[in-house]
A and B are shown apart, each in its own frame.
Chain A
Amino acid sequence: MRLDVAGVSVSLDGRPIVHEADLRVDDREFVALVGPNGCGKSTLLRTIYRALRPSAGLISVDGDDVHRLPWRESARRTAVVAQETPAELDFTVWEVVLMGRTPYGRDAAADEERCARALDRVGLAGAEDRVYATLSGGEKQRALIARALVQETRLLLLDEPTSNLDVRHQLEILHLARELGVATLAVLHDLNQAAAFCDRLYVMSSGRIVAGGPPGEVLTPELISQVYGVRAVRRTQLVFERLKDESEP
């Protein structure tokens, strides 16, 4: 499994948002995409999962141009956990997770098996009949991860999956995503978190990818001040980690 983004530009309403972006995600790699608000990172991600079309460039998953694949086929390769939460229409958790099977033919028994396993894995076993809209933010994200799981893709895209969560649930979601062991591209806005979780990261600024590589090499004070317009200072401070014993799903 490999995601390749080559020379991709995206415009919205005729306004260029992303300029000639290049990035790649290798099998089982966890890659973060960071940058200031409005830099185009979410737009790029949405173009990868076909919510938008690129005006130039090529996005390929496993060597095939994503935008030329049949819709079902691209959904069998790429799953998305976005901020946009579905279900104003009273779907239950079970129904939301089952939606992950939309790109496949129906096989009721096997699908139920998959859903049950996925819910178990994200720690939502027993919540099947609850109405999705009544879940807490963390539970909603876990349900969406379960949906991505039953979609059985080898590429996972996360669009600021933790932005509405408190610090404990942020860590929980990121750990969960990491432990899935599939290639992951995550748009994150917390630099410390991105640095802690990813194998590599890309930094976007004004629609361009300005740096890429392991977090230790990329996130230099110079780059951060250039991209974010803030001074980065290394100093000792609290670092948040999950308590292994109590929050293991």
Chain B
Amino acid sequence: MSAQKTPAARGNGRFALLVAVLAVSVVASTWLAVSIGAVHVALPQAWAIVADRLVPGLVPRTWTPVHEQIVWQFRLPRALLALLVGAGLAVVGAVLQALVRNPLADPFLLGISSGASFGAVVVFIMGASALGGLSLSAAAFAGALLALALVYVLAQRSGRLTPSRLVLAGVALAYLFQAAYSFVLQQAQSGRAAQQVLFWLMGSLGGARWEMLPLPSVVLAAGLTYLLLQHRPLNALSAGEETAVSLGVNVHRLRITLFVLTSLLVGVLVATSGAVAFVGLIVPHAARLLVGADHRRMLPVTALLGAAFLQLVDVAARMVVAPQELALSIVTALFGVPFFLWLLRRRSVDRAVTVT
């Protein structure tokens, strides 16, 4: 037994390799995203432009100012936002799946995305004054938090939270919030604004600018750090509430923290890019297939996988019907729905759903 490597040690090499491969794909897909578009910028040139911006004078200038503007002002912030949104939504999905012990949980299922969209739509259509001067991000966050708080209260029964009630309450509230923002949209004065909002609701990174990046970066970095530090309580919680309690986890406090954290993340991300569907559902499952359920490994893999996935999705969204763009949710659904159906056919899901 002692000469043999322990299971944890056996997995470490594989995990490190996987993280390295994923990190390379994140960089590669971003590079691709910066190069591809209506105006093609050769890969080496795209690289040179970015390098020159980071360290001026590092490479001889061989590009036109137009190319520089396209790469630096439009494509790079958009590509970086894609990484943040992909990683963030995927991590939120992973946390929610642990929280409600339901493999089908994602920000949509629990009404959080709809709540965030509602907040954003109100500010979008009716102006910031409608919600007392809240910014778009703040309104989306408030909407997300409101949705989660309502779900949380509705799903409680004598102080206990059952996953099945949580999901049912979430689904019901998602419809309510959708009805609410549809109403606001219908009442909108300008049909054009309404159409813009509808497109944005289905997910679009078209509005990405540099100044949109710091807030989601900080929230995601802080959230991910916290979650990684809490990987053991998270594992215990995903094994069941009573198990977590018997292992010394303050379940009530952990749940509240996770609720606030996920709504903060969803709010911030929805404010930048609308509600992108399916990333939060499928990416955590893919990560679990690769490294198992232990959050210490699963969370970093989920984040990297989500980032690379949404980057490629955005490239596809820009390219497929160029010069028009597809909404991101259309592309993610194209991958997401088959994956979802495949997931439904797996035996373990059947069991998990009936248990909850």
Contacts and interface: CB of A to CB of B under 8 A. Distances in A.
Contact of B348 (A78, A80, A88): A88
Given A89-B288, A99-B232, A133-B348, A74 B248 contact: yes
B292 A91 contact: yes
Interface stretch (A20-28, A45-53, A215-223, A227-235): A45-53
A96 B242 contact: no
Chain A contact residues: helix, strand, loop or mixed = mixed
A7 B315 CA distance: 66
Contacts of B10: 129
Given A88-B101, A112-B8, A125 B1 contact: yes
B293 A84 contact: no
Most chain A beta-carbon neighbours within 10 Å: one of B238, B248, B249, B348: B248
B7 interface: yes
Contacts, number: 112
Contacts of B355: 88
Nearest to B289: A90
Contacts of A9: none
Contact of B294 (A51, A91, A115, A133): A91
Interface in B271-305: 288, 292-294
A70 to B, nearest CB: 8
Interface stretch (A32-40, A100-108, A162-170, A189-197): A100-108
B333 to A, nearest CB: 24
A91 B8 CA distance: 13
Contacts of A89: 97-98, 101, 103, 238-239, 288, 293, 352
A87 B103 CA distance: 11
A245 B6 CA distance: 29
Contacts of A51: 241-242, 245-246
Contacts of A151: 247
B232 A12 contact: no
Interface string A39-72: 0000000100111010000000000000000011
Interface residues of A, number: 46
Contacts of A129: 7, 10
A95 B235 CA distance: 9
A91 B238 CA distance: 10
A88 B103 contact: yes
Contacts of B348: 88, 90, 133
A15 B241 CA distance: 22
Contact of B250 (A14, A71, A116): A71
Contacts of A125: 1
A30 interface: no
Nearest to A153: B246
B133 interface: no
A17 to B, nearest CB: 11
A51 B160 CA distance: 9
Contacts of B250: 71
Nearest to A72: B248
9 contacts: A12-B158, A71-B248, A73-B248, A80-B243, A91-B294, A102-B248, A112-B8, A125-B1, A128-B6
Given A78-B246, A86-B238, A115-B6, 5 more contacts: A46-B242, A82-B246, A100-B247, A112-B8, A128-B6
Interface of A: 12-14, 46, 49-51, 53, 71-76, 78-80, 82, 84, 86-92, 94-96, 98-103, 106, 108, 112, 115-116, 120, 125, 128-129, 133, 151
